[in-house]
Structure 1
């Protein structure tokens, strides 16, 4: 894990996830969709770590608008991946943020995938984007 710490030192939120046998596909490596699920879990952890979602106005919350994933190394079972997430500071605007994410194989001590997710704050009742409250924006910029 010491080697992994070097990768994630600039990523304030991370979690470990075991690779499941069912994550693999017919090509005997983790299927591309599984990486997106790993990143989803990383985003949930990030928001849990850095946002007080209960402090948001009722019905307002983050929603995934866009995701990009660059696959760098094939992960196989058995393994554990570390998913690390951080805000791209220059990406925070009135309505959205971008999260940079890494998926790291602990078995191979390598970055398996890199992702960028654009998350929009959304008013679920009115079905439209909502401004990020200033207190939340300040927390995001400090993360």
Structure 2
């Protein structure tokens, strides 16, 4: 092998390695993306079953039901629409009716019930994630503690 061939082989190997690395990073990012929706958006959006999303809004009063084991069902609302949610696991201590929540998961098998694998609750009585607050305000929901929206 001549020097020129060695140099071309090294350059070709480097380009191949970089291409593989970029493809792996792109694949990892595509698997980690979860779009954010409020219940009112889901009526307009075409979310395919099995697609991971984040569902944010308020836990509807009177909707929390404890099932067998650690299974909990509740409804998330933005006052315009309501989505039933099922979650199996331990809920955050601050999870309660009428409070802000973000659930991450998917609709399974074309069912209207959102199956969450992660549930996040706000951390104090006036905090709400900015994207949830913005979406709720756009829907006409009045929020208290505007200064604590982050």
Tell me which interval the TM-score lies in, with the shorter structure as reference length. Answer: under 0.3
The higher-RCO structure (CA 8 Å, 6+ apart) is 1
Higher strand share: 1
Choose 1 or 2 for highest CA Rg: 2
